[in-house]
Structure 1
Amino acid sequence: MYEAYFCLTTKPFELVPNPQFLFLSHSHRKAINYLTYGLQERAGFILLAGEVGSGKTTIVRNLIKDLDEDIALSRVFNTRADARQVLAMINEDFGLVVENKDKVTLLSELYDYLVELHAAGRRAVIIIDEAQNLSVEVLEEIRLLSNLEADTVKLLQIVLVGQPELLSMITQPELRQLRQRIGIHCHLEPLTRDETEAYVYHRLETAGNREAVVWHEGAFDLLFHYSGGVPRLINLFCDFALLCAFAEESRDLTLELLHEVIGDITWDQQESTSATVQLRELKVRTGVSGSPEQRLTALENLWGEGGEMVRRLEARDERLQQIQLESMRRMEMLLERISDRLGALLVAGKGRRGQ
């Protein structure tokens, strides 16, 4: 709606993950390098974790876009499923018939398919999104898939993508074998203050006009304060800021405008951001950033104290949904104001022609 007014070729802050707008913060660049290395070296399990809205899906889509042609891909979206259902989704992605087949048959046919794929000089990758929703039993079944091997090479790579509570799940004793098989592990951190500003300008420039609006002094500080550096929230707030500026026929994003747009729909964002900061400090204090063995030991030590952090971050998803619902309500109000203004302009125009 406002693209032409701001001389943009497309909307710069849509919530739909789009690899075209991928912004390489320090954390995102590191995650892409880790994932690429893991796929090239054929690591059995790769783990990508990050907060809600941190950009995991955008990175995964970018990864898929750049996959080699010799890779057969299965991507599992629905993770609230049992082991048989997950296996059926995997086989179906690979083009296998799954109707009226039990788990043993599905597993046997998957193995035959992977052997044929290997004989043809190709390989298979499974990406499981929202993996934190899987039960311990299903995660153990997925771990067993990694036992499908040829004489000298693994036939399958598995990428687990999920929210921070996935890290807590894999520290459970029942999943110690899965934990030991994770060859690559990366965690997406929220953007810093400076990265938030660079991110906004990057998306505006990608959409056709880096200078579409004028950001008043302190505007980016306020945006970072409310969003906590979470890309999805930054997109949400900036989209409404542009819509509000358009409705007011202005190109200035003042502190007053930003407060009006985002202040009253982020009533508890500070608590969520605080939980993220505390978790960062906890990770540093316990040495999670060390070697794989040190990370696993530290994560086990985090179980008691980190559990509370994880529970607070789980609540973040519910709060984000509330923010999005409230934002839709505010969008409807802004659209009504714009419609009324356009109607008045049309009436005025007809009046002038009549004279």
Structure 2
Amino acid sequence: MYNEFFHLRTKPFELLPDPDFLYPSKAHRKALAYFEYGLSERSGFILLTGEVGSGKTTLIREMLKRDLGRMVLSKVFNTRVDSTQLVAMINDDFGLETAGRDKMVMLRDLNDFLIDQYAAGRRAVLVIDEAQNLSQELLEEVRMLSNLETDSAKLLQIILVGQPELRDLLRSPALVQLRQRIQVHCHIAPLSQEELREYVLFRLERAGNRDAMEWGEGVFGLMHEATRGIPRLVNILCDYVLLDAYAAGRRSINSAELQDLLAELDFERQFWPVDETSAPAPAAEQQRRTAVRRDASSVARRMMLMLQDLGQRLDVLERGYEKSGPDMLADMAERLGALEKRVTVLAGRVESLHAERMQRGAAPQVQPYRQKPERRKGWFRRVFGGD
């Protein structure tokens, strides 16, 4: 939409995990070095953690693009399964037959496959994304897979990728054996303020024009404060900055303009949970209204991230639907149904809050997508993929 105006070849702030746009921050360089070491040394377990939107998936894709020797790969994205389904997904992604086979047969097939790959000089790697959703029982099943080994080497290397709560889960006494087998652990920290500035300019340069925008004094500081240095949120905000500048016919932004934009977007409440300790409590009714607003914004933020996550997962399913078993599709349908219910609940809460404001004689807080049609279209295209 705005590419021609800013002399860009492509959109610089897409939410898709594109390795070509991976900014080499200190944390990402360290993680890549650790991963390269872990894979080359055939470490049994590698653990990667980071906040939602910190770039874990992008980093994994970049790592797998590198020449790390002959490798066969299995990727598991759906972690809300039982042990039999988990083994079936692993085998299926390795290209093994799963129809009509029970768990014991599939494990035997997997073991034979891994031995064949080792004999042929190839390394088998299993990547489990969103691993924080695995139960302790499933994590123990994953540990048992690492027992497939020869006298001198592991037959299967396992990469666990998840949010910070995965580290808390692994601290459980019941998972001490798994914890002791993790030889490489790296956590992706958020971008610093200086890294955020370089991240923005880096992505603009990759898109074709590093100087597409003039950034006023203090802009990157405000941006860092609003996004906490999370790359996905930086992308969302910068995309809106470019859209807003395009609509106004300008190629610059100053601190005051960014503050106005953040206020219009209600960025803080949209993407960050409200601090419980800061909620005002002068009266019971005011507390109740504050709780309604807090709950609604928290649900909205979670749904926004869920929609983005579902969009990426649907892309994966569309590209490889032949491999998508009925259990995986049924699970996706169940999640979409749950999302529909949450949208309905949120709509009711927002309607209730709006009615309360009207009863008090207060003008409703009009969001920017209602004020400016050009913003509304840009927002819905980016988040929902349509008008």
Deviates more, 1:53-62 or 1:257-266: 257-266
Note if 1:9 corresponds to 2:29.
no
Deviates more, 1:161-170 or 1:247-256: 247-256
Matched, 1:43 2:46: no
Q: Distance in 2 between matches of 1:42 and 1:96?
A: 23
- 5 Å-filtered alignment, 1:23-102, equals 23-68=23-68, 70-102=70-102
Q: Following superposition of structure 1 onto structure 2, how do residues 153-164 of structure 1 map, counting pairs within 5 Å?
A: 153-164=153-164
SS at match of 1:185: strand
**Structure 1, 103-112 or 149-158: larger mean CA deviation:** 149-158
Give TM-score scaled by structure 2 length.
Answer: 0.72
The separation in 2 between residues aligned to 1:338 and 1:132, in whole angstroms, is 35
Structure 1 position 83, deviation (Å): 1.0
Is the contact between residue 240 and residue 331 of structure 1 (CA under 8 Å) also seen in structure 2? Answer: no
Per the alignment, residue 178 of structure 2 pairs with 178
Q: Show the counterpart of 2:242.
A: 242
- Flag structure 2 segments of 5+ consecutive residues without an equivalent: 277-296, 308-366, 378-387
Aligned length: 298
Alignment match, 2:192 = 192
Alignment of 1:68-147 (within 5 A): 68=68, 70-147=70-147
1:265 aligns with 2:262: no
Which amino acid is 1:153 matched to? A
Counterpart-to-counterpart distance in 1, 2:102 and 2:262: 51
Deviations 1:289-346 (A, max 9, x none): xxxxxxxxxxxxxxxxxxxxxxxxxx98973544898xxx85686554699xxxxxxx
Structure 1 runs, 4 residues or longer, greater than 4 Å off:
269-275, 315-318, 322-325, 329-335
Contact 2:369 2:376 in 1 (8 A): no
Coordinate RMSD, CA, aligned: 2.6
Cα deviation per residue 1:81-122 (whole Å; 9 max; x = unaligned)?
111111111101111010121111110000000011111111
1:151 CA displacement: 2.9
Give the aligned partner of residue 218 of structure 1: 218
Matched residue type, 1:319: R
Percent identity for Structure 1 against Structure 2: 50
Instruction: Please give the secondary structure, in 1, of the residue aligned with 2:175.
Output: helix
Distance 2:27 2:125 in 1: 23
Deviates more, 1:253-262 or 1:216-225: 253-262
- Secondary structure, counterpart of 1:267 in structure 2: helix
Cα shift at 1:268: 3.6
Distance in 2 of aligned mates of 1:213 and 1:235: 15
For the 8 Å contact 1:7–1:208, the answer to whether it is kept is yes
Amino acid of the structure 2 residue aligned with 1:103: K
